[in-house]
Amino acid sequence: MNSYFVYFTKHVFDGIFLAKDVSRVYLVVLAMIGLGMARFFADSLQSYMVQYSGEKIFMRIQEDLYRRIVRLPVHLFERAPVGDYMSRMGNDSKMVQAIIVDIVSVLTKETFTVFGLVGVLFYLNAKLALVSFVAIPFIFLVSQYSGKTFRTLTRRTQVERSKIFSRLFQTMTGIRVVKSLVREDYETSRLEESNLRLFKVMFRTVHLRYFIKFLNELMGFLGIGFVVWFASRSIIREGFTPGDFVAFITALFSFYDPVKKIGNLNSQMHSAMAGAERVFLYFDPPFEEERDEGELEFGGLREAIRFEGVTFSYDPADAGAFRVEGIDMEIPVGKTVALVGGSGEGKSTLIHLLLRFMEPQSGAIRIDGTDYRRIRLSSLRKRIAVVTQESILFSDTVRENIRYGRLDATDEDVERAAMDVGVYDMIQSLSGGFDMNLSERGVSISGGQRKMVILARALLSNPPILVLDEATSEIDSKMEARIFEAMDRLTQGRTTVVIAHRLSTVKSAHRTYVIQHGRIVQSGTHDELVAQGGRYVELFKEQLETGNRAQ
């Protein structure tokens, strides 16, 4: 469209100053109005299509990234802060989308404009058209050399943004600690420090961007000035009309603007790559399913789960890193097995190995005599329900939090599970009952109530194997009794693994394994272990002393 406007400029000037033909000017003006409206509708259509495509791209990036993140191995979540994932889902994805939109917009619009104006320039005067290209190499060289710097600065900007997200997330989730210790000013100052670092990096980016813009503008105007000087010496000799001269200069001004935009694409692409690196970093590690070599379905336990000489270290290269070593353990079908020991002794690590969050570096875990790595990962986990020490509920209704155990469960199934666990009346007493909306992490109800809801969720999933990881931790004695009753109902007829610090939890276990420094140091029933003495009795005495001091 710009090419037509430039072309009509020649006819307007020549019609007024040379031909004195007013009627001809009227036709040209009408044509220019028509072209102007056509350009408006074309630009609007292009903008609409580009924005629509951009939002679809953003939606797909977020969906694919989320799908990828939730399928990553668990150990990756233990290395990166939650705010980093939030930043990649939001800022980084949006930046990639925005730059893709800009690149597509420039390429689809400005490229055609450049080619059209090049045609007009050559039509008006081929020699001057060639001269007018003198500044183009310099514009692209400036963009080329600045691109890597833009990429580095953009990468640093996104890292600082993710740190701010992490700081905000940690503060919000730990707001009770912040307020109880009166650390509002401290947390604010830490955020201000992070913001200042982000500001400095962003301002460097702004400085560079405007410096590059200044150089591009300088190159453009120097190029135009050179062409005007060159043209003024040959206008008379080559018979340029006023319309030719004005049209050529207009075309030249119009030509350099899209050239500069195309030249800047390189730096924009480097910025996009910095964001894309952070987004697609999570596309590199394989899904758990992708590295899963299991081909068997797990229909349920028939005999036993056996740990045979299992050894695992979180850092095999570090001889001093914590490890569980030489674990030999049997979990018979339909029985309750307890793991006891102090904090950090390796009890939860064994459960993580059972769930294949990690895998043994030596030894084997066998289910009914079959190496559990031959069982499909999803099939294994579907038949193991875990009640963790931390009571995790989602920002949804109580009903939906219980239904999370089996997504196709009806409302009647949900309420029946609550009755079977003995939590139905407690839920009904809540404001809104089963339809009460819980706040994030379920903090709007008590810790004991959260634990009871989680037990109902575990029962609804109807697992043949149940893992109770400190299910009665941080619960008062009255609620503990209710939870014990619920656990008794839940464990009936199921293979159960109980992890406990408090030995009162495991007295009824068919077999108890005592873990110390990543090794099994004792095993047997409660009575057998008491008779043996050793670490089990030491734990009992420590808990009795702690209880007496508390009283």
Same domain, 161 and 261: yes
Integer-rounded Cα Rg, in Å, for the chain is 35
Boundary residue ending a domain (270, 302, 320): 270
For 256, phi then psi, to 5°, come to -70, -30
- Length of the chain (residues): 551
Same domain, 189 and 312: no
- Name the residue range of residue 24's domain: 2-52+112-270
Q: Which residue has the higher pLDDT, 408 or 210?
A: 408
465 lies in some domain: no
Ranges assigned E (strand) in 408-473: 465-469
Is pLDDT at 356 greater than 70 in this prediction?
yes
Whether the Cβ atoms of residue 300 and residue 271 lie closer than 8 Å to each other: no
Lowest-pLDDT range, 42-56, 81-95, 217-231, 473-487? 473-487
> How much is the average pLDDT of 231-236?
63
- pLDDT confidence band for 243 (50 / 70 / 90): low
Same domain, 170 and 241: yes
**What pLDDT does 549 receive?**
46
C-alpha separations of 381 from 299, 356, 377, 414, 549 in Å: 11, 9, 6, 21, 41
**What pLDDT does 11 receive?**
55
330 lies in some domain: yes
Number of domains in the chain: 2
Q: Which residue has the higher pLDDT, 13 or 452?
A: 452
283 lies in some domain: no
466 lies in some domain: no
For 335, phi then psi, to 5°, come to -105, 165
452 lies in some domain: no
**What pLDDT does 304 receive?**
93
Is pLDDT at 308 greater than 80 in this prediction?
yes
- Give the integer Cα–Cα distance in Å for 210 and 467: 60
Same domain, 127 and 191: yes
Average per-residue pLDDT for the chain = 78
**What pLDDT does 548 receive?**
45
The CATH number covering residue 208 comes to 1.20.1560.10
pLDDT in tens, 370-400: 999 999 888 888 888 888 777 778 888 999 9
Same domain, 119 and 218: yes
Q: Which residue has the higher pLDDT, 117 or 17?
A: 117
Residue 491 CA, distance from chain mean position: 37
Is pLDDT at 310 greater than 90 in this prediction?
yes
Same domain, 232 and 116: yes
Same domain, 329 and 192: no
- Give the integer Cα–Cα distance in Å for 31 and 47: 24
Single pTM value for the model: 0.67
Same domain, 360 and 213: no
Query: Which residue from 296, 327, 300 is spatially nearest to 311, judged by alpha carbons?
Result: 327
Same domain, 186 and 318: no
Same domain, 331 and 251: no
**What pLDDT does 544 receive?**
64
Same domain, 240 and 298: no
- Give the integer Cα–Cα distance in Å for 182 and 178: 6
C-alpha separations of 141 from 99, 115, 138, 149, 264 in Å: 21, 21, 5, 14, 10
Boundary residue ending a domain (270, 302, 336): 270
521 lies in some domain: yes
Ranges assigned E (strand) in 317-450: 323-332, 336-340, 362-367, 370-371, 384-387
The CATH number covering residue 367 comes to 3.40.50.300
372 lies in some domain: yes
Same domain, 222 and 306: no
397 lies in some domain: no
